[in-house]
Every structure is written in C-alpha cells, then in structure tokens.
Amino acid sequence: MEFAPDATVGLDTVFGAKADLEKLLRRSVDLVEPGAIRNPFVLASINRSRESVCAA
C-alpha cells in the first residue's frame, strides 16, 4: 500500500483502509508496504496478481 509522500498516515488510516477494502471486496486483504518484501520469489508472485484499486 502506498500513500503520497506528504500524506500523514497513522495506524487508523491503514487499518481503516483494510477494513473498508475487506467490506467492499467481501474477502480478507493484506496491505503490505512495497519495500517490506525481501524474498524475490514472494515478490514476483505478488506482482503477478497485484491490482491497483485506486490511482490518482
């Protein structure tokens, strides 16, 4: 999950987005910061199924 560089993001923002997405999609979601995944095989797997849900 990525936010604008100048955005003020707290835990309430992240967990609120997670809850809203789960309600909208009717399934469990995982929100991960782009730099948090170090394993290249896991990252490749995620990128294959990755979808943008909101782009400005």
Closest C-alpha to 43, from 29, 33, 52: 33
* Angle 14-19-20 from CA coordinates, rounded to 5°: 95
Q: What is the pTM of this model?
A: 0.61
User: Tokens 């909208």 identify what position?
Assistant: 24
Average pLDDT over residues 31-56: 82
Mean per-residue pLDDT of the chain:
85
At 54 the pLDDT is: 66
Task: Return d(Cα 20, Cα 26) in angstroms, integer.
Answer: 10
Contacts of 18 (CB under 8 A, 6+ apart): 29, 31
